[in-house]
A and B are shown apart, each in its own frame.
Chain A
Amino acid sequence: MTAFLETTLDKFTFKVATDRWYTAEGLWARVEDGQARVGLSDFLQQRSGDVAFAEVKPPGTALKAGDEIGTIETVKVDIVLSSPVSGTVIETNPALADTPEVINQDPYGAGWLALVELNDWAADQANLLAPEAYFDLMKRQAEEEAKGT
């Protein structure tokens, strides 16, 4: 069972799953048998707002870490999502086509974006944040956003 780090700011509670790695922008990667499942952090989905549309690069797409893996359009913003890992997309979440709100409802579970066959996880991991580090960064980001900076 996934464990979470959790912080509450004003009326918002943000969770960080401890079984995966993160980019500073709030994309996560969880390694599963040489593949990485990719998704949005709870903080990123909450700050972005309700997802109206989500589009993910199709299976077969080769990616370098930092390349666009997909986009989301929310009630607030349009966001280009950068892949946390290098590799090839082998599966995308079919639920996103009809129910993209699953990203908001379950960002660490049913709201995943894509499954990526990894090229070099060690290299990717060196550029990602451990859950505790992302948790600290996310708290600072949330506090700054609350102050309107």
Chain B
Amino acid sequence: MTGKIVIVPCSGIGKTYGTVSREAAYILTEDLRPEATRLIALSPLVLGDAAARAAVADVPMITLDGCKLACASKMVAESGGQVARSFAVLDVYRQHRDLKPVGIAELNEGGLKLAQVLAEEVAAVVDTLRQEEGSHA
């Protein structure tokens, strides 16, 4: 794969589930798969920032939506991005009800653990995408 997979989390500020999505994106891009992923904020893509759009051209993107409005997925698609896979924090929480996220600026322990779970799920998809890319190269 020539470029890093781009991770675009929810940009909803002041929303707990959006915070979980961003925390998961940090864990993924800084700790779990820094060599394979990079984080790009949704807002410059939506605003048409040339550098942001150039950075995502021809590379797969994974969106992390906080809720079912799926703003990240929809706006990335509208901005011309190639969404390889979409995740929703709500779906992950439904599988891990003991990890109820609380907080906005600072997540509680449940929220941090949920972000970790989400990041690990995304990391597995990142690995799969890179393997698929390698087999096609």
Contact = CB atoms under 8 A, between A and B. Distances in A.
Nearest to B89: A75
Contacts of B90: 50, 52, 75, 101
Nearest to B88: A50
B68 interface: yes
B136 interface: no
B16 interface: yes
A67 to B, nearest CB: 25
Contacts of A52: 90, 93-94, 97
Contacts of B17: 75
A53 interface: yes
Interface residues of B, number: 10
Contacts of A50: 67-68, 90
Contacts of B97: 52-53
Contacts of A49: 67
B93 A101 contact: no
A100 B66 CA distance: 17
A53 B66 CA distance: 16
Contacts of A75: 15-17, 66-67, 90
Contacts of A100: 94
Nearest to B69: A50
B14 to A, nearest CB: 12
Interface of A: 49-50, 52-53, 75, 100-101, 104
16 contacts: A49-B67, A50-B90, A52-B90, A52-B93, A52-B94, A52-B97, A53-B94, A53-B97, A75-B15, A75-B16, A75-B17, A75-B66, A75-B67, A101-B68, A101-B90, A104-B68
